[in-house]
Amino acid sequence: MTVATLPCATDPWYGHALLVDPTMACQPLLDSPLKNCFIGTVLAGKSVHKAAKTHSIPQTTANDLFQKYRKTGSTHRCTGSGHHVTITPQMEWAVKHHALANRCTPFASIGKMVTPQFSASSVWRILDEAGYY
């Protein structure tokens, strides 16, 4: 799943267009060509401070951006550390098995019967996708 960035208003302080990632709480992002120019300027021999002034980038953003480039070799945003649970086919089978064996049991109770435990909405979604609803 790719997340598109949407153009936002021009920043009156720095004069370049800001981009807003729809998955974030309106945190302004620098566009890729500007970041690439900044990195190219630093690699060409200018200091991070002078390159930041040249491209009208705040100093702390420039330092963070260059550190990220040195660590990862890229200026792209890293993925977050959120909790991503992957439901395997074996887990789905266990939910379906318990649902068929205990037909009158609430979804929340079925979710507590399996390991790892699922919420009632996850149990409902698994059974709905399987046509058991």
Model confidence pLDDT, tens digit, residues 12-42: 444 554 444 445 445 566 778 899 999 999 9
Residues 71, 51: Cα–Cα separation, whole Å: 19
Residue 128: strand, helix, or coil: helix
Whether the model pTM is above 0.75 = no
- How confident is the model over 55-80, as pLDDT tens digits? 999 999 999 999 999 998 888 877 77
